[in-house]
Amino acid sequence: TTLVAVCSLLASAGWNTRGVSEHYFSEAPSGDFTPREIEVERRLMDGLRSIDGIRLLGDASTGSRTADVQRIAIASFDVEGVHAHDAGQFLDARGIAIRVGHHCAQPLHRRFGLSATVRASASVFTSDADIDILLDAVSGIRTYFGADR
């Protein structure tokens, strides 16, 4: 999980994260999503869906799959008219950490005619303000690069 990765990273830097992970895992039922995880995922995905020129990959709410699907809060998306690496640099300059590239799915990217995508990840520790900052920045990418004309 994201928490395990974060705790591992912090532990490698000498931080004691045992209490954080023990508290989280003692509160979360095994195999189930917490209400906060569901809320964060929906806020992230709904926000990205509302931005013109953003195409989400793996969006279960579009097409023939309309069932309420539980998923973790990771969104891979394309910004119309802007290369993913440029979008990533734009977000990085605003202090927003995302990933860009194939994300170990190059055949899928080729299938959709994409050279790379942007991937944003969130967790139970992501605040509503964090998501709002991301969404605000993403909504400005196409304008910055002149792709909204």
- Of the listed ranges 3-12, 45-54, 65-74, 82-91, the one predicted with least confidence: 3-12
Q: Residue 10: pLDDT above 80?
A: no
CA count, 13 A, side-chain hemisphere, 132: 3
Q: What confidence tens digit (pLDDT) does each residue in 28-70 have?
A: 555 566 888 889 999 999 999 999 999 998 776 655 444 566 6
Catalytic-labelled residue, pool 64, 104, 129, 146: 104
pTM score over 0.95: no
**What is the spatial distance between Cα 32 and Cα 37, in angstroms, rounded to a whole number?**
10
Tell me phi and psi for residue 42, to 5 degrees.
Answer: -65, -40
Q: Residue 1: pLDDT above 60?
A: no
What confidence tier does 108 reach under pLDDT thresholds 50, 70, 90?
confident
| Known catalytic membership, residue 104 | yes
**What is the spatial distance between Cα 82 and Cα 146, in angstroms, rounded to a whole number?**
9
Q: Residue 85: pLDDT above 90?
A: yes
